[in-house]
Amino acid sequence: MPFLPVSREDMKARGIEQFDFICITGDAYVDHPSFGIVIIARLLESFGCTVGMIPQPVSDADFKKLGKPKYCFMVSGGNIDSMVSNYTVALKKRNDDAYSAGGIGGKRPDRAVNVYCRTLKRLFPDTEIAIGGLEASLRRFAHYDYWDDCVMPSILVSSGAELLMYGMGELTVTEIWNRFKAGDKLADMHDIRGTCYLTEPVNTPIGAVQCDSFELVRDNKKAYAKACRKQYDEQDEIYGRTIVQRHGNEMLVQNPPQRSLTQSEFDRAYELPYMRAYHPMYEKDGGVPSIKEVEFSITHNRGCFGFCNFCSIALHQGRRVQTRSAESVLNEARELAASPRFKGYIHDVGGPTADFRHPSCEKQLKSGLCKGKKCLAPSPCPNMKVDHTEYLSILREMRNIKGVKKVFIRSGIRYDYLIEDKSDEFMKELIANHISGQLKVAPEHASNKVLDYMGKPHIEVYERFEKKFYDITKGMGKEQYLVPYLMSSHPGCTLNDAVDLAVFLKKHNIRPEQVQDFYPTPGTISTAMFYTGLDPYTLEPVFVPRKYEEKKLQRALLQYFKKENRDLVEKALTITGRRDLIGNGANCLIPASPDSRKVGGNVRDKRNDRGRTASGAGKASSGRGQRRTGKAPKNKRG
């Protein structure tokens, strides 16, 4: 099956005079199911529709090159929010973009969905637009925008689109197509689950959950925090209700979340005829870097009941775990193994969380996930069902496929879920067969107070897992390491908490090469804390590290061992009254400065810097503690 048409020449070659749908995206065109817009396009194609692709348009000529679609334009900012793609957390412009040809940044505009839709409305004023993808999904309500430091209206208002598809769109776009066939327009489609629309206030649905208006949440931080909780509390396909939020003279209406895909529907979405490659037009630029991580990776699930407060998954994919059938996953592995480009290595078998194959408990299938609670934090729910049997079976069969040398798991293991498994069978096979020297895990912090604000389990859970991991690793005679993801400056994290984290890292001999400052992305609970200074679930005040100097000190503490950070660490320890951590003792973070050492003091023992693991499992790894590398995530971590 060829690539989808991208030019008039392609249209002519296929005898297409007018497309039914034209998809516009902020990413380069990579025909792979890790790109949401491509799933939607291929699904529409499977219904017999003609679909054109316009990736990363810039000029009016780019937008006009495929003409006007019969039904509507479908617009996505891409696999990642355009502002996150274009700017660092320090608000510096990025030069790179894994989703663009040659990895070069600057090929998608800021606020891409708005820019694309406004251009289309100018060029094709009588043609409707449906928006979707991560950027649209997470900006569907009035939301805090970190880059302009203000509350912005729903992206439906600012873009001018007729309909917004939030979450995962396969079922939603199927129903939209059926409505088009029945003669409806997007402006008539006001009852489809998983969508938002604007209407006159007089048409507000009866019985809907009312969020305070855009104008009120813009001007009142407590109202914003309360609206955030309502939006999350209704994000469940079983009990979620319609939510409304007034924007001036219009009412934003969010219909209840779309239902989960059945396993056969999920299988079908990933078995469509993808080329699994970037379009040949990018060859001259060196290709599109994001394909490297996903070309030989397999998605077997979506959704995450881990529900971390800083993560967008709960509001986008949802907390309910959906899975493909074992046979569908294995068939994809066989197809990958038959590819002439395959070198014997499957890079990942995962999703948002690699080892989730079941709902967290049976109750949620009838009653939905518990409102306002988490399955794993601060401690695991006693009703949680931990079972790696099916996932392990898939991995075992995949290892035996002809041509497969190794199957890695790189999308992340929930260590807090794994440690609750009464059987060590999966953990032993994970360590023996599926790690390339390092296993990524995400404790994120060491202060239980901060972890509560993050929605993460307490650090004792990580310590249990760490000990077990290194015990098993050592027993196998292997030299493998945990790579902990860590975050600085999350709401609730004081400088004292950052010192506690540094002490924890010293004790456990973790030396992160990269750390991540908290990034307030649209729609998350943590972003609501950052903006309002309130916990949306208690409305209690939350300390927020905002000043550049304090954030710099917190970040330096996570890498206390770097010479260039020494002065910053000393300043932080002085401010917090922890100068006991300066000196030559085994627990000290930094040595005393030459002018502060007492005559006759101990000479620093460099042997203490060799970095043996806390558990004695082996030598230090130069990559230990490495943070996210910026490689293209699958589905997104979001």
Short-list 45, 33, 108, 114, CA closest to 78: 108
Q: Cα 303 to the chain's mean position, in Å?
A: 11
pLDDT of residue 411: 84
51-55 and 21-25: which strand pairing?
Answer: parallel
pLDDT of residue 143: 98
Query: Could you list the residue range(s) of the whole structural domain that residue 347 is in?
Result: 296-436
Residues 413 and 470 in one domain: no
Cβ neighbourhood burial of 541 (10 Å; 0-12, 13-18, 19+)? exposed
Selected residue with higher pLDDT from 576 and 513: 576
Residues 596 and 615 in one domain: yes
d(CA 127, CA 550): 50
Domain boundary among 436, 464, 488: 436
Question: 180: pLDDT confidence band, cut at 50, 70 and 90?
Answer: very high
Question: 396: pLDDT confidence band, cut at 50, 70 and 90?
Answer: very high
The partner residues of 277 in beta bridges, in order of sequence, read: 31
Residues 102 and 170 in one domain: yes
pLDDT of residue 596: 54
- 372: alpha, beta or left, given left = phi > 0 and alpha = psi -120 to 50? left
Residues 378 and 451 in one domain: no
Q: From residue 438, how far is each of 114, 213, 388, 558 by CA, in Å? A: 41, 48, 20, 20
Domain boundary among 180, 197, 214: 197
* Residue the block writes with tokens 């776009």: 173
Residues 474 and 403 in one domain: no
d(CA 330, CA 346): 12
Q: Is residue 233 part of a domain?
A: no
Residues 478, 431: contact at Cβ < 8 Å? yes
Short-list 367, 359, 414, 366, CA closest to 384: 359
Q: Is residue 451 part of a domain?
A: yes
| pTM of the predicted structure, to 2 decimals | 0.91
- The first and second tokens of residue 245, run together, are 């939020």
The average pLDDT across 554-558 equals 97
Q: Is residue 291 part of a domain?
A: no
d(CA 123, CA 32): 30
Q: Is residue 210 part of a domain?
A: no
CATH code at position 111: 3.40.50.2300
Residues 326, 287: contact at Cβ < 8 Å? no
pLDDT of residue 135: 97
Number of H helices and E strands in the chain, helices first, is 24, 22
d(CA 631, CA 613): 27
Q: What is the mean pLDDT of the chain?
A: 92
pLDDT of residue 436: 86
Residues 489 and 609 in one domain: yes
Short-list 445, 367, 357, CA closest to 393: 357
Phi then psi for residue 243, to 5 deg, are -120, 140
Residue 618 has pLDDT above 60, yes or no: no
Cis peptide before 443 (omega within 30 of 0): no
pLDDT of residue 247: 98
* Residue the block writes with tokens 């917090």: 576
Kindly report, residue by residue over 48-95, the tens digit of the pLDDT: 999 999 999 999 999 999 999 999 999 999 999 999 999 999 999 999
pLDDT of residue 524: 97
pLDDT of residue 634: 37
Residue 563 has pLDDT above 60, yes or no: yes
The average pLDDT across 529-544 equals 98
**Interhelix angle 495-507/566-575, nearest 10 degrees:** 120
- The first and second tokens of residue 35, run together, are 């790109």
3-state SS, 256-302, equals CCCCCCCHHHHHHHHCCCCCCEECHHHHHHCCCCCHHHHCCEEECEE
d(CA 361, CA 381): 9
DSSP 70: S
Kindly report, residue by residue over 327-373, the tens digit of the pLDDT: 999 999 999 999 999 999 999 999 999 999 999 999 999 999 999 99
pLDDT of residue 153: 98
Question: 610: pLDDT confidence band, cut at 50, 70 and 90?
Answer: very low
Domain boundary among 382, 416, 436: 436
Kindly report, residue by residue over 291-301, the tens digit of the pLDDT: 998 999 999 99
Residues 443 and 383 in one domain: no
Residues 16 and 132 in one domain: yes
The DSSP secondary structure of 181-243, one letter per residue, reads HTT--GGG--S-TTEEEEE-GGGPPTTPEEEPPHHHHHH-HHHHHHHHHHHHHT--TTT---E
Residues 341 and 473 in one domain: no
- Cβ-proximal residues to 112 (8 Å cutoff; 6+ apart), any chain: 26, 77, 78, 82, 135
What percent of the chain shows pLDDT beyond 70?
A: 93
pLDDT of residue 514: 80
Residue 631 has pLDDT above 90, yes or no: no
The average pLDDT across 472-497 equals 96
Q: Is residue 469 part of a domain?
A: yes
The average pLDDT across 134-154 equals 98
pLDDT of residue 593: 81
Kindly report, residue by residue over 398-438, the tens digit of the pLDDT: 999 999 999 999 988 999 999 999 999 999 999 999 998 89
Residue 200 has pLDDT above 60, yes or no: yes
- For the chain, the maximum distance between any two Cα atoms, rounded to a whole number of angstroms, is 90
Kindly report, residue by residue over 101-133, the tens digit of the pLDDT: 999 999 999 999 999 999 999 999 999 999 999
Residues 496 and 547 in one domain: yes
pLDDT of residue 595: 63
pLDDT of residue 485: 93
- Cβ-proximal residues to 493 (8 Å cutoff; 6+ apart), any chain: 445, 447, 450, 453, 543, 545, 554
CATH code at position 597: 3.30.750.200
DSSP 614: T
Q: Is residue 44 part of a domain?
A: yes
Q: Is residue 66 part of a domain?
A: yes
SS3 assignment, position 404: coil
Element (H, E) at 130: strand 128-132
| Number of domains into which the chain is organized | 3
Residues 493 and 562 in one domain: yes
Residues 430 and 448 in one domain: no
pLDDT of residue 412: 83
Short-list 310, 495, 486, 299, CA closest to 411: 299
Residue 623 has pLDDT above 80, yes or no: no
The partner residues of 129 in beta bridges, in order of sequence, read: 73
Short-list 72, 74, 75, CA closest to 180: 72
Residues 355, 390: contact at Cβ < 8 Å? no
CATH code at position 412: 3.30.750.210
Q: Is residue 102 part of a domain?
A: yes
